[in-house]
Structure 1
Amino acid sequence: MTTYKHILVPVDESPISYAAVEQALALAKELKSEVTVMSVISVDPFKGVDFYKVAPAITDYFMQAEENAQLRLKDIERLFVRDGVSVNTKVIRGVAASEGIMAIANEVSADLIIMGSHGHTGFKKMVLGSVAQNVLTQSHIPVLIVKV
């Protein structure tokens, strides 16, 4: 069996992310792997819009998104610490989700990515895009997709 020394787990607010966290925790305990749990605060869709800098509601939205990500990561971090697994957390800002995931994977020298996927197919996938699909095509390391 391949031993994975460093597992990367990208998370968002979805329940499927927590399913990926559970898989990563179980595998990390078994293999004594280090884990990095991360969130991406995606590219600001309002960037470049004239009113952006003067629209407090929009600024507040992104500040709240970051605060929520930090709280989520702290909660997840406690699970790993409780089970004696070495864990780090990271937030990356201002990039597309798949780009951020790949950047952190390279930064921490991850040798496995475990992430959730909603499993959208057909038209829904074409319209919404798929972070998991993008990571699968960009990654040079193994990616474990967790579906619920």
Structure 2
Amino acid sequence: MKKILIALDYNPVAEQVAKAGYKLAKTLNAEVCLLHTLAEISYYGIQYPSFLGYEGYNSMNADLNLISDLRKIAEDFLQKAAEHLNDSTITTHLAEGETSSGILNYAEEWEADLIVMGTHSHSVLEKLLMGTVASKVLERTVIPVLMIPIIKD
């Protein structure tokens, strides 16, 4: 495996996903790209504590109706996440659109050998009505996927 794509969402558990994917990549001496998909605007209004060395969404004064501001903020999130891992060889990519499609499309374009992503707890109703990003990626990918289980205490 030469290229590992680590998909990060804007949630504090992304730090666990980033660290686990990065550790594996270093063990395999693989190239790393951190990916974030700019999808549902409503996700970016959630006030989380600082994680991966990033506090931008909590202090943002951007007008959420302006997609260009969101792009800049998301790019800053990715850059801070890469800096947090303290490796100048890490690249980042911001995709846009439906999350699972963004992950799959970029994984193919970048020629990733492995996709690393986390799993989240969702309500039964949410899983029934919408599915999960993880399940959508697994259903449609031809690239191996490593799921990092995230268990909330």
Q: TM-score, normalised by structure 1?
A: 0.77
Alpha-carbon contact 2:36-2:95 (below 8 Å) kept:
yes
Aligned 1:1-148 pairs, distance under 5 A:
4-42=1-39, 59-60=65-66, 62-80=67-85, 82-83=86-87, 86-93=89-96, 95-120=97-122, 122-148=124-150
In structure 2, the CA distance between the partners of 1:121 and 1:145, relative to structure 1 (3 Å rule), is farther
Partners of 2:8 and 2:80 lie apart in 1 by: 12
Larger radius of gyration: 1
Alpha-carbon contact 1:29-1:83 (below 8 Å) kept:
no
Q: CA deviation at 1:63?
A: 3.2
| One-letter code aligned to 2:80 | D
| One-letter code aligned to 1:102 | L
In structure 2, the CA distance between the partners of 1:117 and 1:65, relative to structure 1 (3 Å rule), is farther
Q: CA deviation at 1:75?
A: 1.1
Partners of 1:58 and 1:25 lie apart in 2 by: 31
Alpha-carbon contact 2:3-2:30 (below 8 Å) kept:
yes
CA RMSD, 1 decimal: 2.3
Structure with the bigger percentage of helix: 1
Q: Can you give the 5+ residue segments of structure 1 that lack an aligned partner in the other structure?
A: 46-56
Q: Deviations over 1:45-101 (max 9, x none)?
A: 9xxxxxxxxxxx5533x3343222111111121134x246x32111112x2100010
Q: CA deviation at 1:129?
A: 2.8
Partners of 2:17 and 2:40 lie apart in 1 by: 23
Aligned equivalent of 1:54: none
Kindly indicate whether structure 1 or structure 2 has the higher relative contact order, using CA contacts under 8 Å at least 6 residues apart.
Answer: 1
Q: Deviations over 1:31-54 (max 9, x none)?
A: 110011111112679xxxxxxxxx
Q: CA deviation at 1:125?
A: 1.2
Q: Can you give the 5+ residue segments of structure 2 that lack an aligned partner in the other structure?
A: 43-62
Identical-residue share of aligned pairs (%): 29
Q: TM-score, normalised by structure 2?
A: 0.75
Partners of 1:79 and 1:33 lie apart in 2 by: 18
| One-letter code aligned to 2:104 | M
